[in-house]
Structure 1
């Protein structure tokens, strides 16, 4: 049946809503009424005023309501929704200033100017849509806007339809089905074996000069760094002995282009990609942006550069299809904005790519987050969208690219799994190399927790009555079991024993009580899940031991205790769980072997599709089932063995822990970490490679007086010490004039606890005129400080944002902080590393106290056995490194100036020795610190 004819297009026109423009501060709001009057109102007065006006025009409705302390707006003209519809896959900070900068408009200087600007932002966006209404991206825009108008009464729909010249457009369901319009990937011949031609230092310098261009400033240190980096691309001379370079490059050296020069040259010359791995998503994005210099043409850049992340970062088209097909009107707008973005995105990355993170913040949790494959439920070749899948596209492009920008987590997880979707690389560059220890610690660890066991049960049995795409193993393997019925009994046998894992509601049962006596009595009740379910029974014994042994008295926090000596009942419960897990593992292992036999049978005539499905099933059973079950059973079997002798160096560190939320136990776990996680990193990642460059601005502990010892510590923290061939060492100093560009202060006359730190931080933020980052070592203190500081700073015209307080994720907060030059930001560890905020946007950095390592059991064991009989020095090195990393955020360009303040008069001088050479911290009172900050930064 032919489709109904669309209404005849009309001339586009600009239809602006008659809406007041609203800009929020803390405790006050600026309102531009439809009559053109500017009003400044307290929140309670604003609520009454808005009751008499149309819905307001604003930026980021949830954040606006939270900053004003109001209930969520029932209806609002949110300019972020309009921006995301008109300019999908374009990034902008979610503030009036951020949108102005993204659209090329003059940035507002204050809240009044911002309120006046909001209608102009709307006009600019609608005019852009009208001008580009015939673009391929906007082919279905009228039908989509019409559906949003009719199904959800979206307030921007009439304005969009007017700009598109189709005010009477009819809605169409197909407008949301973006997967139908995405390109398919095609298989190509396997890549040819790579050559092993070297890159000479002089060649690296020449390539660097070509990338920078003839007019670039001469930077001898950057060229020296490129020469040193080229040594990692020499031919490997013996198996298991990669060419390894440890290169420390001070901030401002230009290390990114310094290593891209030899890496890109080696990839071109030898026909294989170089993998550049980072610790943070922020740096992945920065490296990608730097590569515009090497590949200015977008099409060539797409061929030569690929960003690789785990599947959980990408839009899952099957999740999106199922959400669209079952969409309630309340979710329709979120899905529409995602569909618009999916049609325009470069690679489908929703975490740090070109997906604006604030889109998810505009809607209830799960409306957008549930569209990625966070639970590892990908069905690979059985998926109808497999050939359009963003992840599959990136995997195949990575095989023929020259540079693959990955992250430590992906590289190490794939190594931990014994290979993965990507073939192991021959050459790696590990940027942010000082984080290799932490990344390896995460990748090569294991835990038996309620959450992990429940996830395995969910993978085996499906959602068990709940909504969502959790098909279970039987559904996932339907096609191959129908073609190979001998596999089905093995699947059924595994599912029959899956009930031994924690079942639906397990977390609530753990938190039924938070006192030991209640736990002891409950287990004796006939039929209680903790008694009948081996997984839950084991968790209960863990909780009992943690309650008995943990020194943590505050019931509001997580707690942990040593595994040994075992409490009565732990070993017995562990043995029962191990036996139950074995009943699940045995049929899964037989299933894996049977599928492998089918794939390797020379007499089997398998079609290509059948072979792909069998291989996918085999890999999935191994990764999701056999690997965790094998690790868990090994940990549980060790419970029956002899405990380690006190004082001996263990290979692993085991301990028990509970997780609390609002005073209730919500999970319990047995943890196992390598004492030194760089050992498996060296064996699984470094040794098989042909060459590695491990680089950072802070590889060494600069506070160590002995330079040789500092290099030895760097080799230990990066795993170089575990390789047969010694590493080549290189260090290039920063070109910045730190003694003249920075000021370092230690405030000596305020108490660390209580409100004084917040008071001091507020005074310092005022002295700098904003552009200030406050770092805390505890979330509780951060929240308390925000509540005390926000009103005064807002009254002074300095917006204050905070991690764990504002309705924004970390990347969005950093984007806002970068765009708003006079704003202030409070954060924790996540904002200390890998954040690039050049210029005036970051001119003051304040630590609330010394960032000592958390005194955990794992840290205790490493401090004891990895410190070389210098346990205090081990703690010092960690704190010194954190201070140095934070200090490096201050100066990102030659003309930057910044003040570093530590609000801890007890800070020993040996920790401050880690600051850049020539920077001498001054110990002063708060009043003098405020005066010096104001003087140094020239703020009024």
Structure 2
């Protein structure tokens, strides 16, 4: 064990336990002075610690997260002293002093875990890796790791960084037979649910009713294009996850085909996977019967890791690659954006360090890859083909449907959990953008890196690797690569964002510059900070002319690529009478891969862009006529800086393509959520269900949807309070900060503050953080702390008395049961953003009631947030809205039995203490932040 102090940070205050056992509380400049007197300290999450103490981001330290990731790869832990203690079955510390005292014990436990590997193959590889890190990265834990493994004289090993050497190969299986058509009745679903829960489980009638209703989605289809669609609203606490798993698993078993369980958020995807442990408690059986599927970009690419390891002698990359390699040898599925990969690993290093390890640029070369047989993506695809339940997400389901069916085949049965997000997911999946980033990405895919370090070999190298030396492919290939130079080349970003004239032959750039000028000329207001949008019509003459030239250039590029694809298709054909030998499977796969790449990465976006540009030739739409698509020009900004410009296109109603490509091709689908309908329309349930059907695509299907609703079993009237504060000016960050401080102190922490604007969140955090932490309540904030959203939620869940500030991402899909979330505060009414797309939808999708369209949007957000408060029957929580201008009609959407009270801040503070059972303090909490 190193002789080192232990450091725990709060905002502007540090607790330091010296090697002699002395506890120091430090503030301001004394922090840096004291740290300079000692060796690098034990701490947890060095970048976050540095930010809280206003120290250099990469201070020298013995970060326990690095040791945890090395010693216990693929293990979950919240990145705080308390989180690590819980993961190691240690008593969680009660305060910063106890946390500092615990850090050496945590280090000792982790080193003992490594000692258990000593002598085995894993231990030898760990020793070789640690020895390599001692020299390549001066890793401060290296000597301790080697001592724990009993191999202080171990030789450095580069092979230890190559996890593919010990990963299993995937194996191809025969195509599955067609599914059977056996029914699943409501009674069948109830019996399966009872078996899953066991005889001693709590009886929940609503859950059994839900399972029975969900079974209707698994009835045999009566006509092509006419699926059975069930819309099932299940209040929080119903137990809907197990409720739909019951009929889904039974149908899959009886019919020998998978059911796809789709969610909107990664959090729920992980929760469903965990719930399936009740159905398949044996890990091996669960692995065979359950597959988790995400987009290709979510998985670790072994070839990217291999190529990065070729450069890992560079000090900044050696340690992160070592931690990733350790994880890759232990992971269940290779998902580097969730699953068992600790999201905080990437936070410990410079931004973007791990970005290139996933296939985020579509560079996968499939069977030409040296690691193809070990590939995590290919493993997951093959597991999904033979699994009975596939846990996916809305984005993947819709993208695969838009592509005409994905690598996993085309399912016939779907369950869409978080169904209230179907509209948004379809909106993202079936939209298109013609901007600098998208067009430059296509050029890079076609021409390669054109300088710099990248594996982007370009289409020529890709075709040669996949299809071999085929002379007839060269002429169209050469022509396509020449025509691709119409797309933005090197330096386009600086030219566009700084307004520098593009080269004369840069057709795409010239159009984007013209679009930017139209945006700046017609924007109704420009504060220089936020993204700008303007209507496409009437089109400025410059935009029309440059758009027409770009359309011709894109058509000239599309033609040889189309011919190239046709030539590859002919190679796959085996003409009659020309030999009996069939093409080898490997060659066929390579040709199909090349064809698929050209179609999806080039021809599909080119067709979409040309369709968008054709709108420039059309006369402006007459006022009052309903559009099918909505087109606009947009200037993107980030942190007040222009970053891109272009033309955007969305469906006015994205459930039309959803119904056509996803629902219409299915045999049955269940759409479920706790908030499918607008609860404010309880008096008119037909109108409420009609809205739900409109936002789920049911209205575009021939069969009417089956409706089902199960109320929540929770006693909201007793266990919650809802306050609208009337004496706080929500326009003033200082007033919001003061109000949140008093409320968070009244609840003793466990508070989630939700904001409608990032700028206001940051202003409040700066005022609020030091004041709360001086009272022993840690404060974390999205867009401020050096952590991603999943890490922040993990910390909030583990640190029961902490508080968290966030925006929409912290409202959706966050499951924090128990006391860790007992107070939720909105800074303002979450009205929809004022955009061109929202303007058109409120006009044409509102049934002639635009204000009601806005109200419904806000009510759904408030209701979703309220649903975070009570996750178990014994949870208690307070919901506060600081916007005194909130109309009462918005609060009518909260659960039945909940009555909002308009009160002063002092009354809200007292009501919070009363519900949560906390005593009033001796002094005043109204300290100005």
Range of TM-score over shorter length: over 0.9
How far did 1:46 drift?
A: 1.2
- Does residue 59 (structure 1) correspond to residue 44 (structure 2)? The answer is yes
Give 1:820's aligned residue. Answer: 799
- Looking at structure 2, the residues matched to 90 and 767 of structure 1 have their Cα atoms a distance apart, in angstroms, of 35
The aligned counterpart of 1:192 is 177
TM superposition shift of 1:331: 0.7
Deviates more, 1:332-341 or 1:751-760: 751-760
Give the one of 657, 676, 686 matched to 1:708: 686
Contact 2:44–2:65 (8 Å) recurs in 1 = yes
Per-residue CA shift, 1:411-462, capped at 9, x if unaligned? 0011111122121111000000000000000000001010000000110111
Q: Alpha carbons of 1:145 and 1:885: their partners in 2 closer, same or farther (altered >3 Å)?
A: same
Tell me by how many angstroms 1:480 deviates.
4.5
Please name the residue that 1:610 is paired with: 587
Which residue of 2 is the match for residue 592 of structure 1?
Answer: 565
Residue of 106, 110, 113 corresponding to 2:98: 113
Counterpart of 2:708 in structure 1 is: 730
* 8 Å contact kept, 2:727–2:884: yes
Measured in 2, the distance between the counterparts of 1:488 and 1:301 equals 48
- Whether 2:68 is the aligned partner of 1:91: answer no
The aligned counterpart of 1:5 is none
For residue 302 of structure 1, the aligned residue among 287, 293, 301 is 287
Distance 1:29 1:609 in 2: 60
Distance in structure 1 (CA, Å) of the matches to 2:880 and 2:780: 19
Q: Select the residue among 861, 872, 875 that pairs with 1:896.
A: 875
Work out whether 1:667 is the aligned partner of 2:657.
Answer: no
Determine if contact 1:349/1:355 at 8 Å carries over to the other structure: yes
2:896 is aligned to 917
Shift of 1:583: 1.5
1:658 aligns with 2:631: no
Residue 401 (structure 2) aligned to one of 406, 415, 418: 415
Indicate the larger mover: 625-634 or 43-52.
43-52
- Does residue 454 of structure 2 align to residue 468 of structure 1? yes
Tell me how far apart the structure 1 counterparts of residues 20 and 845 of structure 2 sit (CA, whole Å).
70
Residue deviations 1:629-676 (CA, integer Å, cap 9, x gap): 000011112211222221111100000000123443220010000000
Deviation at 1:581, TM superposition (A): 0.8
| Bigger mean CA deviation after superposition, 579-588 or 603-612 | 603-612
Q: What does residue 860 of structure 1 align with?
A: 839
In the TM superposition, 1:757-906 aligns within 5 A as 757-906=736-885
Is residue 230 from structure 1 mapped to residue 230 from structure 2 by the alignment? no
How far the C-alpha of 1:568 sits from its partner, in A, is 2.0
**Residues 556-705 of structure 1 mapped to structure 2, 5 A cutoff:** 556-602=529-575, 603=578, 605-704=582-681, 705=683
Asked whether 1:458 is paired with 2:454, we answer no
- Residue 125 of structure 2: aligned partner: 140
- Secondary structure at 1:344's aligned position in 2? coil
Q: Which one of 400, 406, 418 corresponds to residue 432 of structure 1?
A: 418
Q: Distance in 2 between matches of 1:236 and 1:316?
A: 40
Distance 2:127 2:638 in 1: 46
TM-score by length of 1: 0.96
- Give the deviation of 1:489 after TM superposition: 2.0
1:758-805 per-position Cα deviation (integer Å, ceiling 9, x unaligned): 211111111100000000000000000100100100101000000000
Is residue 717 of structure 1 aligned with residue 666 of structure 2?
A: no
Q: State the secondary structure of the residue aligned to 1:939.
A: coil
Cα contact 1:481–1:488 (8 A) shared by 2: no
Structure 2 partner of 1:446: 432
Matches of 2:628 and 2:377 in 1, distance apart?
36
Secondary structure of the structure 2 residue equivalent to 1:23: strand
* Mean CA deviation greater in 310-319 or 415-424: 415-424
Contact 1:43 1:70 survives alignment (8 Å): no
Q: Does structure 1 retain, via aligned residues, the 8 Å contact 2:512–2:646? A: yes
Tell me how far apart the structure 2 counterparts of residues 308 and 81 of structure 1 sit (CA, whole Å): 28
- How many angstroms does 1:481 deviate by? 5.3
How big is the shift at 1:591?
0.5
Q: Within the alignment, does 1:131 sit opposite 2:116 as a pair? A: yes
User: Shift of the alpha carbon at 1:703?
Assistant: 0.7
SS at match of 1:511: helix
Query: How large is the Cα RMSD of the aligned pairs?
Result: 1.1
Deviates more, 1:428-437 or 1:195-204: 195-204
Q: Is the 8 A contact 2:572 2:588 kept in 1?
A: yes
Deviation of residue 607 (structure 1)?
A: 2.2
Aligned to 1:377: 363
Residue in structure 2 matched with residue 336 of structure 1 by the alignment:
322
Rounded to whole Å, the distance in 2 between the matches of 1:543 and 1:480 is 40
**1:488: which partner in 2?**
474
Q: In the aligned structure 2, how far is the partner of 1:57 from the partner of 1:241?
A: 62
- Unmatched segments (≥5 aa) in structure 2: 920-929
SS at 2:433 equivalent = strand
Structure 1 residues 685-735: Cα deviation after superposition (integer angstroms, max 9, x where no partner): 001101100000000000113110000000000000100000100000000
| Alpha-carbon distance change, 937 to 181 in structure 1, aligned in 2, over 3 angstroms | same
Question: What secondary structure, in the 3-state scheme, does the structure 2 residue paired with 1:47 have?
Answer: helix
What does residue 9 of structure 1 align with? none
Question: How far apart, in 1, do the equivalents of 2:435 and 2:58 lie?
Answer: 39
| Structure 2 CA distance for aligned equivalents of residues 540 and 415 of structure 1 | 34
- Assess, with a 3 A threshold, how the Cα gap between structure 1 residues 751 and 489 changes in structure 2: closer, same or farther: same
- Alpha-carbon distance in 2 for matches of 1:558, 1:47: 40
Judge conservation of contact 2:467–2:587 (CA < 8 Å) in 1. Answer: no
Question: Which residue of structure 2 lines up, in the alignment, with residue 938 of structure 1?
Answer: 917
Structure 1 residue 276 corresponds to structure 2 residue 254:
no
Query: 1:248 is matched with which residue: 225, 229, 233?
Result: 233
CA distance in 2: counterparts of 1:926 and 1:598, whole angstroms: 74
Q: Matches of 2:412 and 2:599 in 1, distance apart?
A: 25
Q: Which runs of structure 2 are paired with 1:5-404 in the superposition (5 Å)?
A: 16-327=1-312, 328-404=314-390
Question: Which of 531, 537, 541 is residue 510 of structure 2 equivalent to?
Answer: 537
2:368/2:466 contact within 8 Å kept = no
- Give distance in 1, aligned partners of 2:114 and 2:200: 38
Paired residues, number = 912
Q: Deviations over 1:542-592 (max 9, x none)?
A: 111111111132011110000001112111100111111111111110011
- Displacement of 1:366 in angstroms is 2.3
Q: Distance in 2 between matches of 1:421 and 1:267?
A: 19
2: CA distance, partners of 1:933 / 1:848: 17
Q: Is the 2:467–2:591 Cα contact (8 Å) retained in structure 1? A: no
Could you tell me whether the CA contact under 8 Å between 2:747 and 2:823 is conserved in 1? yes
Q: After alignment, is 376-385 or 448-457 more displaced? A: 376-385
| 8 Å contact from structure 1 (residues 197, 235) kept in 2 | yes
Partner of 2:905: 926
TM-score, structure 2 normalization: 0.97
1:239-277 CA-to-partner distances (Å, cap 9, x unmatched) read 111111000000000000000000000000000000000
Separation in structure 1 between the aligned mates of residue 134 and residue 455 of structure 2, nearest angstrom = 29
Determine if contact 1:565/1:643 at 8 Å carries over to the other structure: yes
Report the Cα distance in structure 2 between the residues aligned to 1:227 and 1:480, rounded to whole angstroms: 50
**Local SS of the residue matching 1:216:** coil
